[in-house]
């Protein structure tokens, strides 16, 4: 969010989040720390991009994306997400939602921002945060809970090609430079790679099936 739009209470929250980030990463600059403090808290950020991926009837991976370069565009993005979720529920039975660290981050952000804009949540399965189950929501990052393992690390372990010009830490900067296409490319790489990781582990690990 633009700093000028924050309420007094949001500024207090930002100050606390900034202090925590600065304590963990004192070598990082003020601008970077402020961006991180805002990006990781549902009361201070806006969702700037969402990508959804799945296998089509021919076994090919399809990916759709939508971005919101400005806070004012966020409501439309969230409505788009829930419309697409509803379509998938209607077109398929037994849908398994797959994320990477979704139960700790993405789901909470999506719920908070949906509530903020009073957008109807069309499927609670996607927002399931129970950490010890892979149905109906499989957060594959949970397989490496203690290792702080990133998506690209797991992709590399399994020989899955991950292609993105930016990483997650550069998303806020790309949005500030009006480069939503870079953010969409990054989100699409995340979505496609997460699906491929899930398919890899599901084939050999009965806990995830």
pLDDT at 209: 72
The CATH class, in words, for 46-204 is alpha beta
pLDDT at 168: 84
Mean pLDDT by 10 residues, the chain (209 residues): 89 94 91 88 94 92 94 96 86 83 94 97 92 91 82 95 89 89 96 96 85
pLDDT at 198: 95
pLDDT at 91: 65
pLDDT at 167: 87
pLDDT at 182: 94
pLDDT at 206: 81
List the domain boundaries for the chain.
1-45, 46-204
Report the alpha-carbon distance of residue 37 to residue 93 in Å, rounded: 39
Report the alpha-carbon distance of residue 31 to residue 98 in Å, rounded: 33
Closest CA to 102 of 68, 128, 136: 128
Query: Cα dist. 83→38, 80, 87, 117 in Å?
Result: 27, 5, 6, 15
């Amino acid at each position: 969010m633009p700093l000028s739009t924050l309420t007094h209470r949001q500024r207090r929250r930002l100050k606390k989040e900034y202090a925590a980030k600065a304590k963990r990463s004192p070598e990082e600059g003020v601008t970077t720390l402020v961006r991180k403090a805002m990006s990781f808290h549902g009361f201070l950020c806006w969702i700037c991009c969402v990508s959804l991926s799945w296998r089509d009837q021919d076994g090919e991976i399809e990916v759709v994306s939508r971005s919101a370069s400005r806070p004012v565009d966020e409501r439309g993005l969230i409505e788009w997400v829930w419309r697409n979720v509803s379509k998938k529920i209607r077109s398929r039975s037994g849908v398994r939602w797959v994320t990477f660290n979704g139960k700790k981050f993405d789901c909470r952000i999506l719920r908070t921002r949906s509530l903020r804009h009073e957008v109807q949540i069309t499927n609670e399965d996607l927002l399931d945060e129970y950490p010890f189950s892979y149905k109906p929501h499989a957060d594959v990052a949970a397989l490496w809970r203690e290792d702080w393992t990133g998506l690209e690390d797991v992709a590399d372990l399994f020989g899955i090609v991950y292609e993105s010009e930016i990483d997650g830490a550069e998303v806020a900067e790309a949005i500030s430079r009006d480069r939503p296409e870079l953010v969409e490319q990054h989100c699409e790489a995340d979505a496609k790679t997460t699906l491929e990781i899930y398919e890899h582990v599901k084939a050999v690990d009965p806990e995830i099936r």
